[in-house]
Structure 1
Amino acid sequence: MKCLTVLLGLVYATFVNANPNLVIKHNKIDSPKEEYQFGLLKLALSYSDKKYQFDESNTYLTQQKLMSDLGSNNISVAWVGTSSEYEQTYQPIRVPLFKGLLGYRIFLIKPEAQESFNQINSAKDLSGLRAGQVRTWVDTQILQQANLPVVTSNKFSNLFYMLEGQRFDYFPRSVYSAYAEKQKYPELGLQVENSLILVYTLPGYFFVNKQNQALYQEISAGLNAAIDDGSFDQYMLNHPLIKDALELSNIQNRKVIRLDNPFLPPQTPINDKRLWFNLAQH
């Protein structure tokens, strides 16, 4: 048995070494959101006749480090919200991974602040309060161009403690992140604001290195096949991350504040109805 185990290990090592293009190096899966996107990657590649292997990074890479490693081929694929800079530097696969739900933002707040948010009906009303965001995120620019004050941090995790310490008034989070993050920091006593939703167009995509056109074609073909045969919607709407968020957030009954995203790349497939979540249908 021991000899067989060694032999199988050698066969696997030989396979990987002989087929480096079949090894997908990706970020560490450390949250339900990462697990969802990784599962979508595996769904896309399941349409290929190739047998891919997956190699997870040892530690979770920040977005800045992740994209730097994608450029140097230390990472094969990244999943992030898009920007013109990213689309110029890397190869985007323009199928929104959350069908646009990345741009549906509900707020983490301190419980005593809820009354203030009950009085808000527009972006102008919201401009009297301060949002918290990561400095480098495109969301920060979207909020600022809408004349919404933003307090920033270089480190994502700091923002929860800054909110608890009243450095700002609300932390806009995607509908599928807010409840999970509230539970992750129970000691801070935060709550999900219950009356508002910010909506702006911000797709999250898979990105690959521009030199890796073979992987681009494989992921693109797989995602579009999954969209067309219904597998994408089945995976997304039945995934606990999305299913629970849509039930808990009650987005149909929230007051919608829409913001423009002037940083949206012109190639964004905004007219392809297959690719976008429709609030009116849920």
Structure 2
Amino acid sequence: MSNIKTSARTVAAVLLVLMMGPFCANIARAQSSASPDPAHHVIEIKLADLNDDNPLIDYRKAVLELAMRATGKRFSIKGCQVADVATSDQRYVQLIQAGQYCNLMTTSAGSSMTRGLEGIPFPIYLGGGGYRVLMANAASLQRARDIRTLDDLRRFRIGSGIGWTDTHIMQANGLDVVQGNYLNLFEMLKARRFDFYNRSVFEASGELETYDRDHQLAIVPDLVLYYPVDLFFYTTPGRDDIRDALLDGLRKIHRSGELAELIRQHRSTRQARQLLKSTHPRVIVLNNDRLTPLERKAIETYRLDWFK
């Protein structure tokens, strides 16, 4: 009798397994389809300040697209989903920390604003962001001829934006800095409130065309400031997919020479490089103690000789 009961239980167990088989398979298939497939994952990038009319911002987008294509991953790029009003870098930082409407921005390395973001340790200008020129009025342009050293420069007053990384760097190097709103600084220079306005080698020519229609200002010829700084991408904390893919892509386009070629060809950078190559300027070097160790190492590692 015991053997009969055992056999019955065995048969029942086998039947139960056979009946449950398709059900378990369906569950497994459902779970499989619900799991993200890395091969089909689209990296959605929401870039701050996406303005194709500005050559400088267009360059950032061009670098981003070139790097992401080099990864072979699927991606999309669109602007931040915020109201169509002027948005400060500080506001973009807050939006990117949250990650809902923005998840990527570019700004100067060493900024205290970005400490809460995930930095991608790669300088998008290959060190070129550290080259600065001085915008002058008629009086200071004449006096600039005698500037040869940092001590010479300390005798002048230099305009710079409120809270800018450049402002902190110049102050730390003992320079007399007058701070103001970006647009107001052009008028302040014309009014001789200070002697020079420190500008990026990529920015100065275009700014003169836009903000000096009456030709009261000029770039000091044959004089360049340099301090180790550049623009970096910063993303939302926890967005490892963006950080890892973008860093991989940036390294690839650096190794392949595609990034250097973009710098040679892009409308925002080609004239600046030609200027540095052709003039053999006096170069005054400033220290920058605001970089994180990761930012400093990246600027030292990924470099382009801007004078060749």
Instruction: Tell me, yes or no, whether TM beats 0.5.
Output: yes
What TM-score do you get using the length of structure 1 for normalisation? 0.85
How far apart are residue 87 of structure 1 and its match? 5.3
What TM-score do you get using the length of structure 2 for normalisation? 0.79
Cα deviations by residue, 1:5-58 (Å, 9 ceiling, x for unpaired)? xxxxxxxxxxxxxx8852434313141111111110111111234433322243
Code of the residue aligned with 2:140 in structure 1: it is: A
- Counterpart of 2:91? 65
SS in 2 for 1:150: strand
How far apart are residue 274 of structure 1 and its match? 5.4
SS in 2 for 1:125: helix
Counting only pairs closer than 5 Å after superposition, residues 139-178 of structure 1 correspond to structure 2 as 139-153=166-180, 155-178=181-204
Code of the residue aligned with 2:186 in structure 1: it is: F
How far apart are residue 249 of structure 1 and its match? 4.9
Identical residues among aligned pairs (%)? 23
Q: Hey, what's the Cα distance between the residues in 1 that align with 2:157 and 2:296?
A: 32
Matched, 1:101 2:123: no
- Counterpart of 2:225? 198
Matched, 1:45 2:50: no
Contact 2:263 2:269 in 1 (8 A): yes
Code of the residue aligned with 2:48 in structure 1: it is: H
Q: Hey, what's the Cα distance between the residues in 2 that align with 1:251 and 1:125?
A: 24
Matched, 1:217 2:244: yes
Q: Paired residue for 2:284, among 257, 261, 264?
A: 257
- Counterpart of 1:75? 102
- The structure with the larger Rg is 2
Q: Hey, what's the Cα distance between the residues in 1 that align with 2:119 and 2:136?
A: 34
Counting only pairs closer than 5 Å after superposition, residues 23-42 of structure 1 correspond to structure 2 as 23-29=45-51, 30-42=53-65
Aligned length: 263
Taking only aligned residues, the RMSD between alpha carbons, in angstroms, comes to 2.3
How far apart are residue 59 of structure 1 and its match? 4.2
Contact 1:25 1:76 in 2 (8 A): yes
- Counterpart of 2:270? 243
Moved more, 183-192 or 23-32: 23-32
Code of the residue aligned with 1:237 in structure 2: it is: R
- Counterpart of 1:12? none
- Counterpart of 2:13? none
Contact 1:164 1:188 in 2 (8 A): no
| Structure 2 gap segments, 5+ residues each | 1-40
